[in-house]
Each structure stands twice: as C-alpha cells, then as structure tokens.
Amino acid sequence: MATRYSAPAACRPAGAGAAAPPPPSSACRRRSSPPASSPGSSRSWPSRTCPAPSATTCSSASSASAAPSSTSPTRPRAPPRRTSSGRRCWISSTSSTPSGAGSSSGGEGDEDEPMFDPAWCHLQLVYELLLKFIGSNSLDAKIGKKYFDHSFIVRLLNLLDSEDPRERDSLKTILHRIYGKFMVHRPFIRKAVSNIFYHFVFETQRHNGIAELLEVFGSVISGFALPLKEEHKIFLWRVLIPLHKPKSVGVYLQQLTYCVTQFLEKDPKLAGSIIIGLLRYWPVTNSQKEVMFLSEIEEILEATSMVEFQKCMVPLFRRIAQCINSSHFQVAERALFMWNNDHIISLVAQNRQVIMPIIVPALEQNGQNHWNHAVLNLTANVMKMFSEMDEELFSACLTKCKEDEENQASLEEKRRLKWAKLESAAALQPVTGHTAVLVG
C-alpha cells in the first residue's frame, strides 16, 4: 500500500542518510499573483519556479514516512488546487485524514487534509532569511520602514491564505516581528487584518490563516495600553464578536477565545457586552458549535464581576435553560457542567431570586422527559444543589412549575374541545358541490 507523501522539511543531497520519498511531481511551479503595486511603488514580485529536482531531493519531515516500493502500483494523484494567492499546492491521494487536519484550514471543512507545498524546502530558506533580517539589531527601523511599506505588508498578509500550515506559521512569526519593529505601520496592520476578517465573516467564510492572524493579535491585545482606546473596543465588537458567526469557528475558537479574554483582563467592564454579543450569534441548528459556545461562556464568566453579570444574567440563563432542555445530550451535558464551576455557583447564589425561576423549570422538564441517563443524573445533582442553596425558593419554583403544567394542560383541553365542536358542526352542514358551507 502506497504511503502518503509527507511534508518536506529541508533539502539535502540524494543518498545522504535514509532514503527520502520522491516529490509528488517531477517539477513544481510556484506562482505568486499579488495585487497591483501601490502608485508609489515600482517593485514587483517575480514568480518563483522550482525546477525538477535531480541531484537533490527534499528530506522527509516525518521519520515514519518511507519511499514507496518500485513494484507497488502508482496511485493517481489529485489535481493541484490553487489558493487565493495564485499558488499551486498538491495533496496526497490517500484516504486517511491526518491528525490536526481540521485545524489547518480556516475556511475548509474539518475533514480536509492539509496541503503541503512541494517547494517548501526552498521557500523555507527565504522566510528564514527574511525573519533574521527583520530581527537583526543592525536594521534601522527608520530606514527599513521605507522598504517594508504598506504594499509589502498587504502582499505578506495575502500569503497567509496559503494552504501549507508550515508557510502560515512562518508568515505569522514574520508579521509579528514587523508589527513589533515598525511602530509606524501598526495602525495600518490592524486595519488591514480587520479587512481580512470582515471579508471572511461577511462575504466568503473561506480563509486558511484566520487562526494565525488571531494568534498574532492575541499578543497585540495583551500589549494595549490602559485605558483602552475606542478603536480597540470597536475591534472587539465589530471584528472579534462577529467571528463567532462562521460555521468553521471551531478551527480558530481557541485563539479567538484568548483574544476575547485578553480584552476582559484589560477592561472587566466589557464582560456584559461580550456575553450579549455571543448570545446574538448563538447557533440554533449546529449542536457542536453550541457546545463550543457554552465552553467559551464559562471561560468568560470566570472573569466576570457581579455588576457585569447582573446586566446579562436574564437573557444568558434563558439561553442556558434552553440548552439544558436540548435533546442533544452533549449540549445538555455541557450546560449542566457549568454548575461545577465555583465562581459561577457564587454568582448564581447571590442572584438566585432571579435565576432559579428560570432554571428550575428546565431542570424539572429534564427530569421527566430527557432520554439520556447521564443528563438525568446531572440534572438530579443540580436540583439537589439548588435545594441546598435555598430550599424555600426551590420549593416555590417547583410549585410554580406544577401550576404552569396544570394551566397548560387545561388550555390544551379547551383547545381540543373547541376543535371537536368545530368538526362536529362542520359534519352536520350541507355540502354544495365541492365546497363545504359552514352556517353560523
């Protein structure tokens, strides 16, 4: 059985050490089609061509990969895919999905395999050289800013849509160094990255470098001066919160949550508006995404003060009550697990007069109707905790639940009798042609 072509890491002469797997094609062409240069820039990026390797081959990045046997049948190779930057990338034709494939693409499905550029062994040298040049103490930022201009930064950001995770990682480090080295370009970089996020959220929902960009901004946000500028708060509300909308949010949720919590550490008063924003983008039909939202809500609540909690607790716990009653056991289970958090229990206990009337009916309904035994056990534990927290209020909530159930049953019975009366009246009326005439 042919093994999957593994990503090359460096180039060395053939025959040195263990045999390396051959590249997936005899020749590869790497093209770049950056946007048009700015009016003041006369430079252009030439296309990069990788000739057919003959004397050298790319060494394997994984020691588990081995050269396919010459007697084994040749598998057909999938056609090259072109990224938004105009480059061709090849993917192995094996059916197995490597671990972490879902995290390699910000706009692709979680089952896609990562795309490895066969020319990476050459490009790696270029990126390493650029990184060392930017980090050199000999580089004067005042002189360098003329060459690392806006046009260069835009083209660098466009390359972050590469499907090769190794290239994105290198570009992430370079972008971070440029942001730290050239302070004059920081506002432009923030604006350019915001535009990429806008394009991703509201237009295409397909981009491979969202996680890397958020990782860079996580460290940028941690360096914001206090008090936060209005520009930075707008970035939170208009960029980070809407990034919860795409269905591929699970690919970059860890980095996104880190950015949000960094804002909370800078200004705890933002907690209420953040939670309200998450409720606005709460998933309705995607259960796995709903589980992710519950995890993020718990992490945000851990950093939420009492004043901010009281601003959003009613809509928040109405949503949590709906999650508790979810027929998807993972959603219900994750919502009930929130009561294992001591800080959340403390917030609930101090506002139990408002929260218990919202949550107890959902728990009572779960105890009667839910199909999953684990959810039933967790429901019983939470109800016991509420009973110990305030037995009198808990009993009043249960009594109110029973009264509401009786009233609902009475309304349903009245509705049934009314329909039965209408049906019997309709059955006694004469029929003219094909039309039933109902005489009052």
pLDDT digits (tens, 9 = 90+) for 5-48: 444 444 444 444 444 444 444 344 444 444 444 444 444 444 44
Percent of the chain with pLDDT over 70: 72
How would you label 15-26 residue by residue, b for 16+ Cβ within 10 Å and e otherwise?
A: eeeeebbebbee
d(CA 379, CA 222): 39
User: Are 126 and 244 found together in one domain?
Assistant: yes
d(CA 371, CA 359): 19
- Count of CB atoms situated within 10 Å of the CB of 120: 26
pLDDT (0 to 100) of residue 117: 84
pLDDT bracket for residue 431 (50, 70, 90): low
Q: What is the chain's mean pLDDT, rounded? A: 79
pLDDT (0 to 100) of residue 146: 86
Q: Which residues contact 244 (CB under 8 A, 6 or more apart)?
A: 256, 278, 281, 293
Q: Identify whether 112 is part of a domain.
A: yes
The answer to whether 318 and 359 have CB atoms below 8 angstroms apart is no
DSSP symbols for 246-302: STTGGGTHHHHHHHHHHHHHH-GGGHHHHHHHHHHT--SS-HHHHHHHHHHHHHHHT
User: Are 229 and 295 found together in one domain?
Assistant: no
Q: How many domains does the chain have?
A: 2
CA 11 from centre of chain: 35
Residue 72 above 90 pLDDT?
no
User: Are 229 and 271 found together in one domain?
Assistant: no
Percent of the chain with pLDDT over 90: 59
More confident of the two residues 299 and 145: 299
User: Are 201 and 246 found together in one domain?
Assistant: yes
Instruction: Render pLDDT for 305-332 as a digit per residue (tens, 0 to 9).
Output: 999 999 999 999 999 999 999 999 999 9
Range of the domain at 275: 267-413
User: Are 256 and 129 found together in one domain?
Assistant: yes
User: Are 272 and 241 found together in one domain?
Assistant: no
- Tell me the backbone φ, ψ of residue 65, rounded to 5 degrees: -75, 145
d(CA 390, CA 387): 6
Which domain-ending residue is among 213, 231, 266?
266
Rank 9-18, 141-150, 257-266 by mean pLDDT and report only the highest.
Answer: 257-266
Q: Identify whether 195 is part of a domain.
A: yes
pLDDT (0 to 100) of residue 93: 32
CATH of the domain at 207: 1.25.10.10
pLDDT (0 to 100) of residue 114: 78
